[in-house]
Amino acid sequence: MTILDLIEKKKNKEELTKEEIQFFVDGVVSGEIKDYQTSAFLMAVVINSMTKEETFYLTEAMKYSGDVFDFSNIEGTTVDKHSTGGVGDSTTFVTMPILAALGFKVAKMSGRGLGFTGGTLDKLESFEGLNVYLSKDEFIKQVNELSIAICGQTGNICPADKILYALRDVTGTVDSIPLIASSIMSKKLAVSADILVLDVKTGDGALLKDISATKELAKLMVEMGKMAGKKVSAIITSMDEPLDNYIGNNLEVLGAMEVLSGADNELKTVAKALAVEILYQSGMSESKADEEIERVIHDGSALEIFKKMLIRQGAKSLEIKKPLIDGYEIKAEESGYVEKVHTRQLGKFVMSLGGGRMRKEDDIDHTVGLKVLKRVGDKVEKGDVVACLYANDNGALSRVDEVLSAFVIGRQKPQRTKLIVDKVR
Ligand code: URA
């Protein structure tokens, strides 16, 4: 068997065997297969796709290319969630403390921001002193004692994916449903909780804008999880406007804490739907799940457990630092209804303020961002505040047009955004 045989086979739309896919992954990790051959293979997959079986073999081979964590030394039912990435998407800080307060064990390894979408680790580091790098033993001890730990990946998880993802990023081979599904699920299954819920985003601020492609991805990921013997389900949620009213690292943590303190908004709707999925997979009815979630929000136990986690992971204070420009009001220049919010544009704007990385090695400014005050369907009068700006550079004040132009104002009142588009179980 040679890599050339496999490239030819995929080029000719033939199905690869488990052994052939294992050969490919082994060769990528060992360096035996060269980048140009890997790239040719990936492009053949983008063009001719993969069957469900091929995708599963790829997922499994990538999963076992590095360390695999099993949580047998965590007592209780372990739970995890994954979002395909969005703008103002801080559901982790709402859903996971709720589940911990309900007695589940939250053993979550998260990532950093990718492009204009925020990352859980960057948001957590808004708190001075907070350590996201726990050793495996510290991680397990914290989950056993506190019921929740959210940290970066420890060990060498899915090295095959690291190599393939870096190549895909620079060879126009990211947008393949089998490649995305296997990339995400290999990492999720290598750190495998008992129950997993996936938040697959669709729309302007998502990896995939098209709903039918998003559904296909969600179904395939759920199938990969089930084929690996896991309880997994997905919800498809809209990214046609920022999920929370806040975009930016420390602002998003603040937004999540507001929901845990009782605020009722879009972030709560999606975060709750994710928690309901986990509870449903654990055997609870959806109506009971709803009740239980409300209980741990209203008695304060979910917020309490989140604060305990921040302190245990080293946060010196739970105060959020303020930037130089602290809430400059950006006002509408015309009246009408918000027809559309260019979510990606707002995400990129916050990224350009320093809220995300342009290059891998860039530092994050945790204090910058936007508060979004108008959503699709809202009435706007000229002079109303549509967003507030948080920045550390006065130059940002001359760029408010970039924020304003993300809000498309029209005459007709449009439908509100449907937040939960679909479910896959
Ligand atoms: N996130 C991943 O981890 N992998 C992909 O392929 C796309 C998004």
pLDDT digits (tens, 9 = 90+) for 332-359: 999 999 999 999 999 999 999 999 988 7
Q: How confident is the model at residue 17 (pLDDT cuts 50, 70, 90)?
A: very high
Quick one: tokens of 171?
């060879």
Which listed residue (108, 168, 268, 344) is catalytic? 168
Read off φ and ψ for residue 50, nearest 5 degrees.
-140, 150
- Catalytic residue among 10, 82, 268, 366, which? 82
Ligand 1 center to 255 CA (angstroms): 26
Instruction: Calculate how far, in angstroms, residue 49's C-alpha sits from the geometric centre of ligand 1.
Output: 16
Range of the domain at 39: 3-48
Question: What residue type is assigned to position 240 of the chain?
Answer: D
User: What pLDDT band is residue 94 in, cutting at 50, 70 and 90?
Assistant: very high
- Number of folded domains that form the chain: 3
- Residue 290 resides in a domain: yes
Catalytic residue among 39, 90, 183, 238: 183
Beta strands in 25-126 (DSSP E): 78-83, 105-110
Establish whether 168 is a catalytic residue: yes
**Ligand 1 neighbour 78 (Cβ under 6 A):** no
Quick check: CB of 157 below 6 Å from ligand 1?
Answer: no
User: How far is C-alpha 150 from the geometric centre of its chain's CA atoms?
Assistant: 13
Å from CA of 98 to ligand 1 middle = 26
* Active-site residue (options: 105, 123, 187, 268): 187
Q: Both ends of the chain: CA-CA distance in Å?
A: 38
Cα 323 from Cα 200, distance rounded (Å): 32
Quick one: pLDDT band at residue 175, thresholds 50, 70, 90? Answer: confident
CA of 42 to the centre of ligand 1 (A): 14
Which of residues 249, 284, 312 is at a domain's end?
312
Identity of the amino acid at 65: S
CB 180 near ligand 1, within 6 Å: yes
Residue 75 has pLDDT above 90, yes or no: yes
Please indicate, yes or no, whether residues 274 and 373 belong to a single structural domain of this protein: no
Q: Pick the residue with more confidence: 269 or 155?
A: 269
Domain membership flag for residue 245? yes
Looking at the fold, whether 214 and 101 belong to one and the same domain comes out as yes
404 to 326, 334, 353, 397, 401: CA distances (angstroms):
18, 10, 16, 12, 5
- The response to whether residue 167 sits with its C-beta less than 6 Å from ligand 1 reads no
Q: Is 149 close to ligand 1, i.e. is its CB under 6 Å away?
A: no
Q: Using CA positions, which residue lies closest to atom 2 of ligand 1?
A: 184
Answer whether 252's CB lies under 8 Å from 246's CB: yes
Helices (H), 49-87: 52-63
Please indicate, yes or no, if residue 371 is contained in any of the structural domains. yes
Is the CB of residue 184 below 6 angstroms from any atom belonging to ligand 1? yes
**Rounded to an integer, what is the distance from CA 385 to the centroid of its chain?**
29
Q: In angstroms, rounded to a whole number, what is the distance separating the alpha carbons of residues 46 and 10? A: 10
Q: Whose CA is nearest to atom 6 of ligand 1?
A: 180
- Mutating to test ligand 1, I would choose from 59, 82, 109, 114 the residue with most ligand atoms within 8 A of its C-beta, which is 114
User: Does residue 388 form part of some domain?
Assistant: yes
Q: Is 183 a catalytic residue?
A: yes
pLDDT of residue 114 exceeding 80: no
63-73: pLDDT as tens digits:
999 999 888 99
Nearest CA to ligand 1 atom 1: 184
Q: Is 286 helix (H, G, I), strand (E, B) or coil?
A: helix
* pTM beyond 0.75: yes
Do β-strands 385-391 and 325-331 pair in parallel, antiparallel, or remain unpaired?
A: antiparallel
Tell which atom from ligand 1 comes closest to the C-alpha of 183: 4
Say if residue 131 is in the same domain as residue 189. yes
> Distance from the CA of 114 to the center of ligand 1, in angstroms?
10
- Is 194 an active-site residue? no
Are 229 and 177 within one domain?
A: yes
Report the distance separating Cα 189 and Cα 196, nearest Å.
9
Is residue 320 a contact partner of residue 254, using CB atoms and an 8 Å limit? Answer: yes
Pick the catalytic residue from 161, 194, 199, 240: 161
Which residues make beta-bridge pairs with 191? 69
**pLDDT level of residue 192 (50, 70, 90 thresholds):** confident
The pLDDT value given to residue 377: 98
Q: Identify the pLDDT of residue 382.
A: 98
Residue type, 379: K
Q: Tell me how far CA of residue 125 lies from CA of 101, 230, 359, in angstroms.
A: 23, 31, 18
Residues 344 and 371 in one domain: yes
Residue with tokens 């995939």, as numbered in its chain: 208
Rounded to a whole number, what is the largest CA-CA distance in the chain? 68
Q: Does a structural domain hold residue 36?
A: yes
116 and 89 inside one domain: yes
Which of 265, 286, 312 terminates a domain? The answer is 312
| Same domain, residue pair 307 and 335 | no
Which CATH number characterizes residue 173's domain? 3.40.1030.10
How far is ligand 1, taken at its centre, from the CA of residue 71, in Å?
A: 24
Provide the β-strand partners of residue 83: 199
How sure is the predictor about 112, in pLDDT bands with cuts at 50, 70 and 90? confident
Q: Residue 183: CB within 6 Å of ligand 1? A: yes
Domain identity same for 30 and 120: no
